[in-house]
Amino acid sequence: MTRFLLPAALLLPGCALTGTPNLEGSWLFQADRNGTFDGDCVDPDDDSTTTYIGTSDSIIEIYKAADGSYVVGADAMLIGDWNDDKVFVAEWVDSYEESGDDWSVTDSVTYWLRGSWDGVGLVGTMGNIEDQAQTTGNTTTSWHCDSRWDYTAVEITSSENKYVED
């Protein structure tokens, strides 16, 4: 089974003159819908291609946790913070295992976001990495997919139930 999981979004900040931006608040996240896919993402017998126009837009809330890290509200709740190179890094891993009498499946998906402050908002790349193994009888089939999308994000505020850019 092939599946592509694009986190609803991940976003970021309002920056002081020094240090790293505070990411708390509401963000308009715009991901380029034409992503790149490496690995076993597409059936090798399927030679069709899809080109998208525009962006995938989401409004995402970011909260600061008691330990100083950020929680990015998307399909998955990513946990992240600024690293020593002033790059925001967020990640969340989902994994499961199931089995029957003569079969088993293991699946792990890592959702991730990397971004830098450009003086106005956040720019970077987001994506997911999925690894799956299916065993039926004595046969095991492995599957790997690395999906990524470029994005930009700007902080927004709400005024009289209308979202406006800061």
pLDDT at position 57 over 90 = no
Q: What is the pTM of this model?
A: 0.69
Is residue 16 domain-resident?
no
Pairing of strands 139-159, 55-64: unpaired
**Residues 139-145, mean pLDDT to the nearest whole number:** 93
Is residue 134 domain-resident?
no
DSSP secondary structure, 8-22, as one string: S-----B--SSS--B
Q: Which two tokens stand for residue 141?
A: 């089939």
Is residue 39 domain-resident?
yes
Least confident stretch, 13-22, 35-44, 105-114: 13-22
Domain hosting 80: range is: 25-89+114-125+148-165
Q: Can you tell me the distance from the alpha carbon of 24 to that of 5, in angstroms, rounded to the nearest whole number?
A: 25
- Contacts with 109 (C-beta within 8 Å, 6 or more apart), sequence order: 5, 93, 94, 95, 128, 129, 130
Q: Which amino acid is at 137?
A: G
The reported pLDDT for the residue numbered 163 is 53
Is residue 139 domain-resident?
no
The reported pLDDT for the residue numbered 34 is 83
Convert 68-81 to b/e letters by CB count within 10 Å (16 or more is b). Answer: eebbbbbbbebebe
Is residue 81 domain-resident?
yes
**Residues 17-22, mean pLDDT to the nearest whole number:** 64
pLDDT at position 77 over 80 = no
- 16: β partners: none
Q: Which amino acid is at 59?
A: I
Is residue 159 domain-resident?
yes
Is residue 98 domain-resident?
no
Is residue 100 domain-resident?
no
Between 32 and 36, the more confident residue is: 32
pLDDT at position 5 over 70 = no
pLDDT at position 7 over 50 = no
pLDDT in tens, 82-115: 888 778 888 888 999 999 999 999 999 999 989 9
| Angle CA 103–104–110, to nearest 5 | 155
Please state the domain count of the chain: 1
Q: Which amino acid is at 151?
A: Y
